[in-house]
Structure 1
Amino acid sequence: MKKLTLTCWLLLAAFSVFAQKPLKGLVKDVSGKGVESVNVTLKDAEGNIINFTRTNKTGAFSMELKNDQIAGYKIEASSIGYKKLVTTVTDAAKSYDLTLHPSETTLETVTVKNRPSLTARGDTLNYRPSDFADKQDRSIGDVLKKMPGIEVAEDGKISYNGKSISNLYVDGDNLLDDKYNIGTKSIPQSAVDKVQVIQNDQPIKMMRKNNMSDDVALNLVLKDEAKLKVMGDATVGAGMPARFDENLTAMLFNKKLKFINNLKGNNIGNDPGIDLTSHNLSDYLKKLDNDRPNALLSTGAAGVPSLPQSRYLFNKAGLLNLNNLYKFNQDLQLRANLSYLYDHRNQQYNKFSQTYLSGQTISYSESQNNTINPQKLRAQFNLNGNADKYYLNNNFVLDYTPFKTSSGFVINNIPANQVLRQETLDISNEFNYRKKLKSEDVINLYSYLNHTTQPENLNITPGLNADILNNGNSYLGLSQYIRIPTWYTNNYASFAFVNNRFVQTYKAGFNVQQQKLNSELYRTQNNGLTEAVSGHTVNDLDWLKTKLYTDATYEFTNDKLKAGLSLPLSYNLIKYSDDINQLDKRLDKLFLNPSLNIKYQTSVENYVTANYSFRNDLGGIDDVYRGTVLKNYRSLFANDAPISESKAHNIAAGFNYRKAMQMLFVNLMASYNDVELNTISSYSLSNNIQQRVVLPLSNHIRTLSFNTNASKYLFALKSTISGGITYSQSRYDQLQNNELFAFTAQTISYKLGIEAKLTNFINWSYLANFSVTDNKAKVANAIKTNFQQLRQQSTLAIATVKNVYLNLSAEHLFTHQSTQPNLKYLFADMNIKYKYLKMKTDFEFGITNLANIKSFDAVYLSANSLTTGTYYIPGRVAMLKATFSF
């Protein structure tokens, strides 16, 4: 029996071999000489690849044909330096002689020798970091900001030709999940072979054939030697007055295991929490459609000055950041991202604020001395299966963020103290499964489950605003309590019909949000009695929001055009009740929110985009509570309106221009947004307190914006220059002290920068930003405010003697406001570094804020309000550090 089976298998194999026929040919150049290593591809009538090969030394090629059905088959021959040749297959037995003609310009691959170069292949642009790096550059983040077309913001966010990147991959793997700052700061630039910009990035393999993605991603391709062992560095630093800076980082990037694990702490004003920044969080939350409110209480602090954080932050912080990825095989991986941040901050400032109304000016002054203790604990586990036929992604996240602020403050010469405690626990699980059928159609199942608790307590002593909160009698204090536990789930199933370049996707799902808002505002009398301020300062609100939705999406893509039309239809039901405030409401709405997106490739490197969307939205639980809430020591908020409803039209258009060979990048974008609301916030302002009530009144907000950016590498000067202009105008209404004001706010800003290599041992960078803001109210005796600010930053890096490097930097700020004195500041820093190569150690001595500036004045404009503030900042700091690399 075994012999018979083996014989059958051999016969089947033999028939299979004899059934296959070779398709042969010869590829020559115009002189008749055979061309070696030409890519020869056989495609069917629909463009699918049937087989492919390369020519041998004589230019000959041979490919197997599995059957005689060759109708519409074509042979494509392509090679660098030659024009692509396409020939129709008419006879499988025929030998095809193909003649390639030389091509003077090759857009598929551009290589410029003896100077910084880029190579472009399809949607991927390759930078070589070594072409842009200087001897002082340590991390890949230091080099990215010097590359034309790439911009790195102060918070670490990366953009390419005006568009924020969606992911930063390390050798093709998503190790850091959008929190990529630790990667750009830690990975040595010498370990990176290429920085790849991937346009139209589609991480899901099965969707790449009909790719509608417009995302841009960066991929760091590591050198082979960087994958062989654990590498990293350790920093020990001490300084005056009483400063420390410590860091330990270990990294490994092999095929099975990748990790970046980091432990750091400092009190020099560097916030380690920036490493945990999720740069695309707003887009992710929008996709989840879970619009729970943020924290409702605050200390009423003045915010932060318009300075880099390292210049104003008094901190003592530590961070443990662990990022580990294990690949079971090419298609299955497990990732764990764990972090814990502990921070202790101090903040001191004085503030004076004026709000201009018709015939009166509301003003108040205050000072605060704050002690802030933020903590963040995050655990994320991700299981990802990504194959040609299926996609599985399960993401579990736990976030715990206790936050405490203690303040001593004086408002209009009245001293008081406050303590704010906030504690958020957020647990979620997101599941996504896609399956490609034999027909190429795709099934998608999705489920998201989330539970959040966020208790908040605000205590103020002694009691303030007795005329409003205690019948004019003095009292000991106020206590505001809020609890908003939330359950939320979103689930859907979709089916995509794939027909070559046209895809139809039909989706059906539901989401449910259940919340309960409990709040009480208590006062403590001088005799120690604690009581509710009134019956109108208590909330016991139950909220249930349900949405049933369908979505029909139609997408078309070819070599020139990508177009997508989405027609989501939803039935929205909201029920909310509060027996204490005699509230029992129900709202049901049917919404159609269409959107249209078009991208047209005007040439190989350039494209235009156009987008339109119309969206109906309903407000949340914080729009409808009736009991008054003490938001902070000088703000009382309540509502006397139905659920907020908005109708928003948005239209946008853009143009992206790129010339890789010349290293020139230009982008333009214009948009108009029109939002109509059925509610407006009414503010009652006095010198001591503001009270807000949301009222049922139509409100229109119109915003027009335009921005353009350009970046160019100047080969002769070995420099990257960049510039940009941003313009925005908003029209909106404000209701203050029973007066309705129509405001127009307009801002225009300019930026100009250069990264220059002046000589082989001197590098210079310069960045300038100038902005002008105008606010105007359309009433008699119109309220007008004007604000101008110029910020300049410059650094000179000098390689002095062997392995000794000197850095001199300065930052200048100029602020002009028509009713205030001009503000001028000049900060200067110095740093000297010695590289001890035998020990792989850098010794570094630096002084920041050489001028020893200890206070900073700032001016802020908002509609008809002007605020001036004085912040106390760290003075001169001297640091000595040693960094050992391994």
Structure 2
Amino acid sequence: MKKRISLFLMIFFSVIAFGQKTVSGKITDEDGVGIPSASVTVEEPGKDAILAYGITNSKGEYKVTFTSGESNVDLKVKAFNQRPLTKQISNSDQTLNFKMEGEATEIKEVKLKTKMVTARGDTISYDLKAFDSKSDRTLADVLKKMPGIEVNTDGTILYQGNAINKFYVNGKDLMEGGYGTINNSLPKDAVQKVEVLENHQPVKILQDKVPSDQAAINIKLKNSVTMTGRGEVGVGGSPLLWNVKLTPMFFGQKSQWVVNYKSNNNGEQVENEGNILSFGNRFEGRRINATQNDWLNVENASTPNLPVKRYLMNSVHYVSANYLTNIDKKKEWELKANANYTNNAVERQSYTQYDFFATTDTPAYSVLQNTYNNFYTDKAKGELIFTKNAKKGFFKNTTSFSQYWNADRGTVDRFSTKSAVKSYGAEALESPTTSFQNSLSTIIPWKEKMVNVLSYISYQTDRQTLNVSPASYLTIPGFLPTSTDFVSQNLRLKTFEANHSANIGFSTKGWTFTPEVGFNFKSTDLVSNLANIIINPFTNPNAIPASQYSNDLKYTTATPYGSLGVNYKSDSWMLYANFPVNSNNIKAEDPLRSVSKELNKVTFEPSIFAQYTFASFWKASVNANINNNFGEINTAYAGFLMTSPSGISVMNPNNPIPQNNNKSAGTRLEYRNPLNNLFFNINYRFSDAKRNLISNPIIINGYTAMNYKVQDNSVLNNGYSAEVGKYFPKFKTNASLSYSNNTSKSDAFLNNDSYTNKNNGQSYGVKFNNTYFSWMSIDYNASITRTKQTSTGKVSTNATTTGFKHNLGVFFYPIENHTIGFNWDQINSTASATDQKYHNGFYDLSYQFTWAKKKIDFELKWMNIANKKVFENYEITSTYTSFTRVQLRPSQVMFTVKFNFK
């Protein structure tokens, strides 16, 4: 590891140090007054290529850093109403001042032409009109076409491969990270431009003191007061289908709001729009996507590697409301209220054949399984946020409440060739959850210092009941209920967490030092029992006593800590590091089993990040960290627990508390040049995780009993990736290429047999869109993946799988206001060892008429034209191969009316 890190550090510092030259000075007019907003560019003589550029500040001062192998370069200065200057200078560090001559120009005709991508300081601006096509309607449609920007399938927006930390509309953060609703429903016609705010520190009082390497996005609307939004109403057949989307929005100078109602049964997943996709900054406090502790589960039918709309059998209703208003005259204080509710029913069905590999004491065998599911989701969430974000102070308090009333159902038909027994099980899970969180953060200036206090409190209760009928379905050895119609696994979790800290910041000459003290506490109570189980020690003397299926465990973690934060920011350098010392005190107590475990350990867990910006367009960075994890309650209980009808966790009460030590390091090189619309990044990451416990699953007849052995083991990961994107104005084409290679190596056990598992995955991607022709536009993206898995030891496998995936969208505009669309999804998979090949193609056709005067679209769409009813796939793991057949949505036709609000 040290050799790898040293090599990359050498490369990093050699790249940023080679040939760096800086020219600085001041530009004035004939009267000696500084000229603001003058452009200064450095070019190689005789070449029409800009090496670097700069913009003068309000005093006329500039600074340009560049790299060139030439002995001389051309420096060019341009400003409005001034005669341009060009001077050949030596390739060296120097200070040059210029006095420009005024030049009045008579303008006979003016044509305004906005640049597609422009840069000013840390702000990259995209002109929306330069990237949209006639078929685009919303911000999300256009955003994914911009160079340097990606939109993941879950809605997360990436800039240069990294997730953004904020999403603003006219400078206000209405959605607090849950920006999917606006992104999917804001009409593109309301947007003037998209701004990427690089190195964005969202807390204003920290902007010159604590740097950030993340970017934010600001959507600048055409009007400062905007009433807009998007709506759709659709009906269809095979069977009866509906789709309703109503999202009015208002963006004013004092207040903003978004109301959203979406309902459908056509396979569109809208219930996740309220998920938090960006979490801001630790100084803003702590925010989470509240989720259930899913300890118990019914057996789940498989889901295919397809767009969700191809297989999701749903009936969903999702409603949300977001409101922001300023509550003082200075517009420093904001009140935000967010709420959403989801009611969703999902059906799922699949068939899977598992072929388990032979081990030293177990011959190969197969398990054939049909699974049918119904999942019912009812959840509500409310959030209230008070914020003051000003140069002279910061305050933020977030109160969240979530309630779940979820229920899952499953029926399974299973046949094992090993036992030649066919079994049937009906499964039902009830899982209500209540969750409450409150986060407070405030930063108060104190003379030349800053005092920051953070407080986070969370309380959550989970009640889960898993019923399985008949009891004979449970054929795990040693788990032998008899003469009962059903068994019932009951579980209750109560989790309380409190994190409190205080720090004080000292700043001098670009450096900020932040000593901090804090206390983290977490307590979890687990109570579980297996009801209606009969164990007869006379007929089965080896059976486990029924009392072993109960748990009463209290698990607490108390961690006082002290740390020192170090931050530095200059024109070129950005550094932030943290050096915490933690006193970890962990206790697990189960009086029912006389279990009492303790761990008291002091750890040093430093982290560091450094970034250097050079030659205007380049950024290079390195990062490294060490952290320790000591497990959670799910690794400490001593009684048996039926987590699934096909699996049971068997914990050894004599096992120690888990200790996991993780070390990681990485480096990144980034280039973004708005002048020629070119963006690319290269990344490398290495990690080494050491653990004292190793999982040892026992698989018999397709059922799994999970336990752990005491043995030191490690997981090594290293991976690198690269992505390049460019917009070609002449061809109106945005194109990008990507590549990634990830390798992992780990120690493992299966059925008490040890082995070493090594995985290598490679991915190649291409994406482009073209709007060159007035009568046609194209969107295309494709990826090729290759995964090789090698297991050596008592379990030996060597298998390679490849996959190909692409999506083609073509839109034709034969007549004004008429659009014909064609969409093609193709997913192929191949397993080289068995020569298994599966090809899955899906085709859609649409016709849209636009009533231009009213801005209303009428769309007729035929989905899954080929009426493909199942998806087939083949996979290889370290323990088995599997063939899966998943039920898909049938061919269907929908008629939809789409419109904007105002």
Q: TM-score if structure 1 supplies the norm length?
A: 0.86
Once residues 285 and 367 of structure 1 are traced to their aligned partners in structure 2, the CA distance between those partners, rounded to angstroms, is 50
Q: 1:627 aligns with which of 627, 639, 658?
A: 639
Residue 651 (structure 2) aligns with: 639
SS in 1 for 2:793: coil
Once residues 37 and 733 of structure 2 are traced to their aligned partners in structure 1, the CA distance between those partners, rounded to angstroms, is 37
SS in 2 for 1:827: strand
Q: 2:842 aligns with which of 806, 827, 847?
A: 827
Count of residues paired in the alignment = 802
Instruction: Indicate if the aligned counterparts of 1:421 and 1:457 stay in contact, CA closer than 8 A.
Output: yes
Residue 208 (structure 1) aligns with: 207
Q: 1:792 aligns with which of 798, 806, 812?
A: 806
Deviation at 1:269, TM superposition (A): 0.2
**1:292–1:240 CA distance, 2 compared to 1 (3 A):** closer
Query: Once the two structures are superposed, what CA deviation does each residue of 1:700-729 show, in whole Å capped at 9, x if it has no partner?
Result: 100011111110111221100111001100
Amino acid at match of 1:170: V
1:454 corresponds to 2:462: yes
Deviation at 1:100, TM superposition (A): 2.7
Amino acid at match of 1:458: L
Residue 437 (structure 1) aligns with: 446
Query: Once the two structures are superposed, what CA deviation does each residue of 1:640-669 show, in whole Å capped at 9, x if it has no partner?
Result: 221111111101001001111111101011
1:407 corresponds to 2:376: no
Amino acid at match of 1:504: F
1:873 corresponds to 2:873: no
Instruction: Indicate if the aligned counterparts of 2:499 and 2:519 stay in contact, CA closer than 8 A.
Output: yes
Residue 161 (structure 1) aligns with: 160
Q: 2:427 aligns with which of 418, 429, 442?
A: 418
Residue 324 (structure 1) aligns with: 323
Query: Once the two structures are superposed, what CA deviation does each residue of 1:69-104 show, in whole Å capped at 9, x if it has no partner?
Result: xxxxxxxx996787999xxxxxxxxxxx9843599x
Instruction: Indicate if the aligned counterparts of 2:285 and 2:455 stay in contact, CA closer than 8 A.
Output: no
Higher relative contact order (CA 8 A, sep 6+): 2
Deviation at 1:482, TM superposition (A): 0.9
Deviation at 1:865, TM superposition (A): 2.9
Deviation at 1:142, TM superposition (A): 0.4
Instruction: Indicate if the aligned counterparts of 1:237 and 1:879 stay in contact, CA closer than 8 A.
Output: yes
Deviation at 1:820, TM superposition (A): 5.2
Matches within 5 A, 1:331-480: 331-359=332-360, 360-412=363-415, 413-439=422-448, 441-463=449-471, 464-466=473-475, 468=477, 471=480, 473-480=482-489
Query: Once the two structures are superposed, what CA deviation does each residue of 1:656-698 show, in whole Å capped at 9, x if it has no partner?
Result: 0111111110101101100000001111111141111122111
Once residues 884 and 438 of structure 1 are traced to their aligned partners in structure 2, the CA distance between those partners, rounded to angstroms, is 55
Deviation at 1:781, TM superposition (A): 8.2
**1:370–1:102 CA distance, 2 compared to 1 (3 A):** farther
SS in 2 for 1:585: strand
Query: Once the two structures are superposed, what CA deviation does each residue of 1:36-56 show, in whole Å capped at 9, x if it has no partner?
Result: 96479xxxxxxxxxxx9789x
Once residues 115 and 764 of structure 1 are traced to their aligned partners in structure 2, the CA distance between those partners, rounded to angstroms, is 24
Amino acid at match of 1:364: V
Identity %: 23
SS in 2 for 1:812: strand
Q: TM-score if structure 2 supplies the norm length?
A: 0.85
Query: Once the two structures are superposed, what CA deviation does each residue of 1:396-444 show, in whole Å capped at 9, x if it has no partner?
Result: 01111222111111121311100011122110000000012232x1100
Q: 1:839 aligns with which of 854, 862, 865?
A: 854
Residue 71 (structure 1) aligns with: none
Once residues 283 and 363 of structure 1 are traced to their aligned partners in structure 2, the CA distance between those partners, rounded to angstroms, is 50
Instruction: Indicate if the aligned counterparts of 1:389 and 1:437 stay in contact, CA closer than 8 A.
Output: no
Once residues 86 and 469 of structure 2 are traced to their aligned partners in structure 1, the CA distance between those partners, rounded to angstroms, is 80
Instruction: Indicate if the aligned counterparts of 2:574 and 2:611 stay in contact, CA closer than 8 A.
Output: yes
Instruction: Indicate if the aligned counterparts of 2:721 and 2:739 stay in contact, CA closer than 8 A.
Output: yes
1:499 corresponds to 2:508: yes
Deviation at 1:587, TM superposition (A): 1.4
Deviates most, 581-590 or 856-865: 856-865
Deviation at 1:791, TM superposition (A): 0.6
Amino acid at match of 1:537: Y
1:658 corresponds to 2:659: no
- Calculate the aligned-residue CA RMSD, in Å: 2.9
Residue 600 (structure 2) aligns with: 588
Query: Once the two structures are superposed, what CA deviation does each residue of 1:330-353 show, in whole Å capped at 9, x if it has no partner?
Result: 211011111001101100111112
1:255 corresponds to 2:264: no
**1:726–1:416 CA distance, 2 compared to 1 (3 A):** same
Deviation at 1:230, TM superposition (A): 2.6
**1:102–1:376 CA distance, 2 compared to 1 (3 A):** farther
1:756 corresponds to 2:770: yes
Amino acid at match of 1:625: Y
Instruction: Indicate if the aligned counterparts of 1:264 and 1:272 stay in contact, CA closer than 8 A.
Output: yes
Once residues 812 and 374 of structure 2 are traced to their aligned partners in structure 1, the CA distance between those partners, rounded to angstroms, is 40
Deviates most, 590-599 or 669-678: 590-599
Amino acid at match of 2:341: Y
SS in 1 for 2:675: coil
Query: Once the two structures are superposed, what CA deviation does each residue of 1:510-533 show, in whole Å capped at 9, x if it has no partner?
Result: 011111100111235699xxx996
Deviation at 1:468, TM superposition (A): 3.2
1:863 corresponds to 2:863: no
Matches within 5 A, 1:612-761: 612-640=624-652, 641-761=655-775
Once residues 289 and 28 of structure 1 are traced to their aligned partners in structure 2, the CA distance between those partners, rounded to angstroms, is 49
Once residues 302 and 151 of structure 2 are traced to their aligned partners in structure 1, the CA distance between those partners, rounded to angstroms, is 24
Residue 230 (structure 1) aligns with: 227
Instruction: Indicate if the aligned counterparts of 2:725 and 2:737 stay in contact, CA closer than 8 A.
Output: yes
Amino acid at match of 1:361: A
What are structure 2's unaligned runs of at least 5 residues?
1-25, 39-56, 61-76, 88-95, 103-110, 416-421, 537-542
Amino acid at match of 1:653: T
Matches within 5 A, 1:183-194: 183-194=182-193
Amino acid at match of 1:124: T
Residue 91 (structure 2) aligns with: none
Query: Once the two structures are superposed, what CA deviation does each residue of 1:748-804 show, in whole Å capped at 9, x if it has no partner?
Result: 010011101241121011111100001101237831111110011101111121211
Query: Once the two structures are superposed, what CA deviation does each residue of 1:539-559 show, in whole Å capped at 9, x if it has no partner?
Result: 000122111011111122211
Instruction: Indicate if the aligned counterparts of 1:200 and 1:211 stay in contact, CA closer than 8 A.
Output: no
Deviation at 1:235, TM superposition (A): 2.1
**1:315–1:199 CA distance, 2 compared to 1 (3 A):** same
Once residues 863 and 307 of structure 1 are traced to their aligned partners in structure 2, the CA distance between those partners, rounded to angstroms, is 24
Deviates most, 252-261 or 772-781: 772-781
Deviation at 1:476, TM superposition (A): 1.8
Once residues 389 and 217 of structure 1 are traced to their aligned partners in structure 2, the CA distance between those partners, rounded to angstroms, is 22
Once residues 814 and 32 of structure 2 are traced to their aligned partners in structure 1, the CA distance between those partners, rounded to angstroms, is 55
Amino acid at match of 2:152: A
Once residues 624 and 295 of structure 1 are traced to their aligned partners in structure 2, the CA distance between those partners, rounded to angstroms, is 17
Amino acid at match of 1:462: P
Amino acid at match of 1:238: V
SS in 2 for 1:839: coil
Q: 2:562 aligns with which of 528, 550, 575?
A: 550
Amino acid at match of 1:174: D
Residue 125 (structure 1) aligns with: 124
Once residues 204 and 175 of structure 1 are traced to their aligned partners in structure 2, the CA distance between those partners, rounded to angstroms, is 15
Deviation at 1:867, TM superposition (A): 2.1
Deviation at 1:877, TM superposition (A): 0.9
Query: Once the two structures are superposed, what CA deviation does each residue of 1:112-158 show, in whole Å capped at 9, x if it has no partner?
Result: 98586211011100001011111221101100011111111122111
Once residues 282 and 826 of structure 1 are traced to their aligned partners in structure 2, the CA distance between those partners, rounded to angstroms, is 40
Deviation at 1:175, TM superposition (A): 0.9
1:514 corresponds to 2:523: yes
